[in-house]
Chain A
Amino acid sequence: MDLRFRDAQPTDEERAAVDALLGPPATAWDGGDRTAADLRFAARAEPARDLLLPALHAVNDRVGWISEGALDYICRRLTVPPAEAYGVASFYSLFSLSERPASVLHVCTDLACHAQGASEVRQAVADRLGPPGTSWQESPCLGLCERAPACLTLTAGDPPSAAVDAPYSGGQGGEPPVAAAVPQAGQDGLVLLRRVGVVDPLSLDDYRAQGGYQALRRAFQLGPTGVIREVTESGLVGRGGAAFPTGRKWEATARQPDHPHYLVCNADESEPGTFKDRVIMEGDPYALIEAMTVAAYATGCAKGYLYIRGEYPRARHALENAMATARARGLLGADILGQGFSFDIELRRGAGAYICGEETAIFNSIEGQRGEPRSKPPFPVEKGLFGKPTVVNNVETLVNVLPILERGAQAYRDAEPKLFCVSGNIVKPGVYELPFGATLRELLDLAGPTGTVRAVLLGGAAGAFVTDLDIPLTFEGTRQAGATLGSGVVLVLGDDVDLKAILLRIAEFFRDESCGQCVPCRVGTVRQEEALHRLSRRVDHSDLVLLREVGQTMRDASICGLGQTAWNAVESAIDRLGVFK
């Protein structure tokens, strides 16, 4: 590819950061010093577009921002046109393309934090550091909802560091152990959360002592088709929100004649109010690694990608450690457990884009493209990552596979576990595990609302508000109630919460996170936010009609789930809570 560059040069530090990831350049043709041989022979630079996002991270982590020289150097190394790399870098909110301080404070102003006084935190930070800009910025949900209001400081350097400050205390105090996010920790009868807070998340021996890697052994006994049969019979459906039967997805991928097959674990948990995947990854990382190995075995994948959101430093470290240990002990890599099955996982980090949790946007993000959803069909099982058959599952879905294999499909089915992220005006916020079929009231009895419950937001920003506490928490039950279980968000709003402000925040969230590809979502989210601003000042019937008409079009004509669901929560608040009466 013929690339054209301007004259910007990388600093030594930027060059070192990229070389630490990619190794030194082989020739002048991919960014090295020019030698006499380079002038006589043209070398072929291997395009490696999929390393673009890790390379951008490398520079951003070391220097704090990405300069033109650094971007050009990355482009030379990876044979990527600078205009395209610029398009990718400017897509992600954690990257800065202008100079900024090494340390940046991210203040969560999203729903759960909003309900717990994020506006005061915002004010306190603004008093100390001035208006939001380079040294601090408002952030969408950081996934720390049980400890709201939350802040995260990301500091560039070698090595870079991250400090969570939640609940906000102005930087005092460290991060509590993972078990603090699981009020039920250590109780009998837990399935998915049974090891969280019980085992040392860094220790493989601990994990094995608590029943780890039994599911994988059982999988090897059953064979790939046996595993798929078991998962299909268990009735497991995807926990990311779409509730697609996992067994069918696996079978469809396994059957594809095209090879290689890829496994993608979607750990880009960014739905406001969701933090269950973070808790699993921080508290029981080996479970996810084992579950991915089982999934890869069943669907014939030799390579898996674990795409984790960039705002989860502790989960990432736990997983990196788990992968390295598993690899060293022959549980990952070539010839796993001597069964002749090879599989390895590559961890990829998101960079602040909610949309990358969409099942096809995640492929584009991993491939080094802008994280824009693809249109379906073709579906991922047919053409997914790198155009190959791909099975993409969310973290919670995958870890459910372990109890299915350990106990058998029937026993699993009898008490199918589901995780709920309870936050907002709650005495004991955190991740709760309940069998399917429990009602919202039973869940709230465990968590304890702090006062009268005005409404509950089920399913996050893309979900719906409900007031009936006797809704059974199942996919069908919530659907009948005109809501969705979504990713398991149960955000409780008390009487004193300003609902109009919450709705504005939801609209703002979708406006910020729309990728901009299709018109209904790109412009529709802006028009909805404008209408809500007008409505919160003065209720005008024409604005309500406008909201509905734009909402219907977004639902009908958007490319992906973001646009299709962006209007749900606001609509339910208008219809059921009478916000703009």
Chain B
Amino acid sequence: MIPLQPPRRLIDVEIDGEAVRVPEGATLLDACATAGKDIPTLCHGDTLTPKNACRVCVVEVEGARTLAPACSRKAEAGMKVATGTERARHSRKVVLELLASSTDLSTTPRAKEWMAEYGADPARFGEDAATVEQPPKVDNDLYVRDYGKCILCYKCVDACGEQWQNSFAISVAGRGFDATISTEWDAALTDSACVYCGNCVEVCPTGALSFKTEFDMRAEGTWDEDRQSETTTICSYCGVGCNLTLHVQDNKIVKVTSPHDNPVTHGNLCVKGRFGYGYV
């Protein structure tokens, strides 16, 4: 069954000279996708309200003083958008350089590809460039917080807070470059309000949050996504009917996710569905 949305008016926008028709309320990113443009995104989450913090998706809107984040700017009738201008590409390049020079992007999907595409060279900030490097926080058996890989996209905070889980175990603390994702007083997760639903892990775009199994296997060098198979099934714990996608490597479950387009979960699970597979 596909839930029906109330009908929405269609509006016309122009993406790189090409006329595109999108429903009212759609973002420029939606319009770009309709026009077949591939815009890089990091902090954008398909199940979350855009925070537009990373600024890697900026596009040029005719008549605007600054560039607009495609992920959050709503399309307006008659808008003329250019996605590949010198100015937009320059901003994306520098944003990627700034991120890569301060954060470990080694487990960020597509980061390498984008860096090559935009010609980003993070090394030019010199060897003394400040970074957010720090040891990973391993304080429980279920997931690991490796904030040396954190780009501060706010997605985990939003997923933990009012947008999904309503646990409010983490928040952004501090200010500026020193800002971090933190529990109160930087306490261990076991002392915090965390309920181990793992929905923050689900939305993390860089691998800063990862399953303990994945973290350990990466450390051993045995993590290999090419050898993994994905099977979507239904959680057997309660009657809600959440879909689980089991990631299996060498006949062992190594990670559990949930399809983001699933109308029951929208990618969210509880601690049992996400981590309670030990009996299998």
Q: Interface on A for B, CB 8 Å cutoff?
A: 1-4, 6, 68, 71, 81-87, 90-91, 93, 97, 353, 370, 375, 377, 511-520, 522-527, 530, 534, 542, 546, 549-550, 552-553, 555-559, 564
A558 to B91, CA, bound (A): 10
Q: How far is the CB of A559 from chain B (nearest CB, A)?
A: 7
3 shortest interchain CB distances as A-B pairs = A81-B168, A87-B171, A516-B179
Q: A519-B151, A534-B126 are in contact. Are A556 and B192 (CB under 8 A)?
A: no
Closest chain B residue, CB of each to CB of A555: B66
Check if B99 is an interface residue, CB within 8 A of chain A: yes
A410 to B213, CA, bound (A): 74
Check if B12 is an interface residue, CB within 8 A of chain A: no
Enumerate B65-116 residues with CB–CB distance to A below 8 Å.
66-67, 69, 72, 74, 87, 90-91, 94-95, 98-99, 101-102
Q: A83-B192, A516-B177, A520-B98 are in contact. Are A549 and B53 (CB under 8 A)?
A: no
Check if B152 is an interface residue, CB within 8 A of chain A: yes
Q: Interface on B for A, CB 8 Å cutoff?
A: 52-56, 58, 66-67, 69, 72, 74, 87, 90-91, 94-95, 98-99, 101-102, 124-126, 128-130, 151-152, 154, 161, 166, 168-179, 182-185, 187, 191-193
Closest chain A residue, CB of each to CB of B57: A557
Closest chain A residue, CB of each to CB of B99: A519
Contact A519–B54 (Cβ < 8 Å): yes
Closest chain B residue, CB of each to CB of A86: B184
Contact B176–A525 (Cβ < 8 Å): yes
Contact A86–B152 (Cβ < 8 Å): no
Contact B129–A514 (Cβ < 8 Å): no
Contact A86–B171 (Cβ < 8 Å): yes
A329 to B191, CA, bound (A): 53
Of A84, A515, A517, A549, the contact of B171 (CB 8 Å cutoff): A84
Contact B94–A518 (Cβ < 8 Å): no
Of B54, B58, B124, the contact of A556 (CB 8 Å cutoff): B58
Contact B176–A514 (Cβ < 8 Å): yes
Which A residues lie within 8 Å of B90 (CB)? Answer: 549, 552-553, 556
Closest chain A residue, CB of each to CB of B151: A519
Contact A4–B193 (Cβ < 8 Å): yes
Between-chain CB contacts (< 8 Å), 27 pairs? A6-B184, A6-B191, A68-B185, A81-B169, A82-B193, A83-B171, A83-B182, A83-B184, A86-B184, A91-B174, A517-B53, A518-B55, A519-B95, A519-B98, A519-B99, A522-B152, A522-B176, A522-B179, A523-B99, A524-B94, A527-B101, A556-B67, A557-B66, A557-B91, A557-B95, A558-B66, A559-B55
Q: How far is the CB of A484 from chain B (nearest CB, A)?
A: 14
Q: A81-B193, A519-B151 are in contact. Are A87 and B177 (CB under 8 A)?
A: no
Contact B55–A87 (Cβ < 8 Å): no
Contact B66–A564 (Cβ < 8 Å): yes
A542 to B100, CA, bound (A): 19
Q: How far is the CB of A571 from chain B (nearest CB, A)?
A: 15
Of B54, B166, B170, B176, the contact of A516 (CB 8 Å cutoff): B176
A4 to B101, CA, bound (A): 37
Assuming A516-B179, A523-B102, what are 16 further A-B pairs, CB within 8 angstroms? A3-B168, A86-B184, A87-B182, A97-B185, A370-B172, A375-B69, A513-B176, A515-B175, A519-B151, A520-B94, A522-B177, A523-B98, A525-B176, A530-B130, A546-B125, A559-B52
Contact A83–B53 (Cβ < 8 Å): no
A546 to B129, CA, bound (A): 13
A553 to B126, CA, bound (A): 19
Q: How far is the CB of B74 from chain A (nearest CB, A)?
A: 8
Which B residues lie within 8 Å of A93 (CB)? Answer: 175
Contact B126–A530 (Cβ < 8 Å): yes
A97 to B173, CA, bound (A): 12
Contact B129–A557 (Cβ < 8 Å): no
Q: How far is the CB of A401 from chain B (nearest CB, A)?
A: 28
Q: How far is the CB of B231 from chain A (nearest CB, A)?
A: 34
Q: How far is the CB of B67 from chain A (nearest CB, A)?
A: 5
Which B residues lie within 8 Å of A513 (CB)? Answer: 176
Contact A3–B193 (Cβ < 8 Å): yes
A522 to B178, CA, bound (A): 9
Of A524, A542, A555, the contact of B124 (CB 8 Å cutoff): A542
Closest chain A residue, CB of each to CB of B98: A523
A518 to B53, CA, bound (A): 4
Contact B175–A84 (Cβ < 8 Å): no
Q: Which one of A1, A97, A353, A517 has the highest number of Cβ atoms from chain B below 10 Å of its Cβ? A: A517
Q: How far is the CB of A520 from chain B (nearest CB, A)?
A: 6
Which A residues lie within 8 Å of B55 (CB)? Answer: 518-520, 557-559
Contact A520–B171 (Cβ < 8 Å): no
